[in-house]
Structure 1
Amino acid sequence: MDLDDINTVAVLGAGNMGHGIAEVAALAGYDVHLRDINEEFVQDGYDQIEWSLGKLAENDRIGKTSLRRPSSASRPFVDMEEACGDVDVVIEAVPEQMAIKQDVYEELESVAPDHTIFATNTSSLSITDLAEFTERPEQFLRDALFQPPVRMDLVEVISGAESADETLDVIEELADDFGKSPVRVHKDEPGFIVNRVLVPLMNEATWLVHEDHATIEEVDSTTKYGMGLPMGSFELADMTGIDIGYHVLEYMHDVLGDTYEPSPLFEQKVENENLGTKTGKGFYDTRTAREQRSRPTKFPRSSRPVSSR
């Protein structure tokens, strides 16, 4: 398959990541089929696309004439066959649990055309293992955008054990056509690159707070004003979804050992369904998070960062 052969992209999962991927694909001019398990989920994802497109137009990041084409192209679907029975690429963004993904891929395999490429947006699960739920491991890979997809430039393109070079090449071209910067990862390892580095950083931050070494605000101030990252570790966890980070840690802990043991604070948030922005409460209460972000924690005089000027 060549890039010119790709006209229709299906996105499975209409949550924060899924509807963001659908928006990116639609803005690039592709016909987009956004699918989830019920109409309410799909419609909510569709509404989020409309809201995001409006904000992009308000901020002059896209022209107002660009609004109509992606909006009409992004059609909601619930039935798998209707969503994927005549598509060229499927990007899966369903919850980070192997059993759920297995059910999705087995149903998808029964309806998708033989030429269709399957791309998972998994945060940590083995691409090779996921490909076993299909009959096309050579057309299976990880094509991972990051939250929020419309703003983040990076795409990790990662091979499973049997992914064909031609599959990787055309998905890299697709990512480039999305306006993104693809990076090829050559080995199927837990966490890949970004999450292998990022999620342990979040976990270490939660251990510090759990063990009363610092407050959430103090750790986030250090992350931003000491390490120079654009947001604090806890702010980032809230934005990306605390449950996502926790499931990545669980998998890495199982595969790589005790170094990646999730902190009790991480686990507690997931158990209480305080998952961050998507539930209205996480490490921060979203009603006050804006105020907290705009007012950095003051450092003691002895440890205050020194200006570079």
Structure 2
Amino acid sequence: MTDLTSSIKNITVIGAGTMGSQIAMVAALAGYGTSLVDINERQLEQAKDQLWSRVDRDVEKGRRSAEAVEAAKARMHFSTDLEGAVSVSDFVIEAAIEDLKIKRELFANLDRIAPEHAILATNSSNIVSSKVADATNRPEKVCNMHFFNPALVMECVEVVPHERTSQATVETAAALAESFGKKVVKLNKEIPGFIANRLLNAIRREALSLHEEGIASAEDIDVAAKTALRHPMGPFELMDLVGIDVVYLIRMAEYEQTGNPESLPAQSVKRLYEQGDFGRKTGQGWYSYAN
């Protein structure tokens, strides 16, 4: 723990989906008192079951010690009480739905509840923090802190300031991520998609273009990405893993920010989204997962 993180004892993560729950577990494993908050009690129960199963499996495979996992479990709290958790937090990470209106309402509420010194970060990869910072009275303490899925495994965290974010906030967020065992990428200024996703989107956009123009099948494009470029997954396999719904909504969120028609989802992605074929989670996307 560095001087920058020595004042951080309690962390609250908002949103018990895959990203939020794993970010919370990462924080607990790093030694912080951690609250995972969601409005849905059932979602919290599912998150707890999935997290416990995952870290217990890590112990079985020798990736983590039983002592470290049990200590992290003891530091984790699951709650629907937003005010109770946030009121004693030194750092808040929002990982809720990618809806700007909801995020702005949430950040205004977090600003009202959280201690004056608390930093408010959003894990969003596409909604830049300037869009929510002005809903608070502490814009200098607001930034993006973007983890990658699965957060328990992926090393990278992008820390992104907006024009009014203080350097102290950037350095503290970066130091916190490093204390989690992550590799930090600091952007000098905000841009939708940040670095990794903009690189990924460029590959995805070209892959979709090749497919929609009939140049090659999704399967063959994936094979090329894996065997020629050494990517662990092809772009279509990755879309199925992330979720076609997530891919679609991220593109729509970027379009709402930029107004650029090039930000809109590809027609083939739009079609899958409207059919409800979201990939692995529904059993059908670019590929079938019926078995």
Q: TM-score, normalised by structure 1?
A: 0.87
Q: Is the 8 A contact 1:42 1:76 kept in 2?
A: yes
Q: Which moved more, 1:218-227 or 1:103-112?
A: 103-112
Shift of 1:107: 2.1
Instruction: Work out the percentage of aligned pairs sharing the same amino acid.
Output: 34
d(CA) in 2 for partners of 1:85, 1:169: 23
Q: Give the aligned length.
A: 288
The correspondence for 2:142, drawn from 140, 145, 150, is 140
Structure 1 residues 277 and 5, CA gap change in structure 2 (3 angstroms): farther
Partner of 2:195: 193
Q: Is the 8 A contact 1:199 1:245 kept in 2?
A: no
The CA deviation string for residues 35-59 of structure 1, in whole angstroms up to 9 with x for no partner, is 1111011111111211110121122
1:268 aligns with 2:278: no
1:257 aligns with 2:273: no
Letter of the 2:80 partner, please give it. V
1:285 aligns with 2:288: yes
Shift of 1:259: 3.2
Provide the aligned C-alpha RMSD in A: 1.8
Partner of 1:220: 222
d(CA) in 1 for partners of 2:289, 2:25: 24
Letter of the 2:223 partner, please give it. S
Q: 1:142-181 alignment to 2 at 5 Å?
A: 142-181=144-183
The correspondence for 1:60, drawn from 39, 45, 62, is 62
Q: Is the 8 A contact 2:111 2:137 kept in 1?
A: yes
Q: Identify unmatched segments of 5+ residues in structure 1.
A: 289-309
Partner of 1:24: 26
Q: TM-score, normalised by structure 2?
A: 0.93
Moved over 6 A (4+): none
1:115 aligns with 2:117: yes
Aligned-partner SS, 1:228: coil
Letter of the 1:88 partner, please give it. D
1:101 aligns with 2:80: no
d(CA) in 2 for partners of 1:252, 1:33: 30
Letter of the 1:267 partner, please give it. K
Q: Identify unmatched segments of 5+ residues in structure 2.
A: none
The CA deviation string for residues 151-197 of structure 1, in whole angstroms up to 9 with x for no partner, is 11111011011111011111111111000001100111111111112
Structure 1 residues 135 and 235, CA gap change in structure 2 (3 angstroms): same
d(CA) in 2 for partners of 1:38, 1:11: 14
Partner of 1:3: 5
d(CA) in 1 for partners of 2:219, 2:130: 40
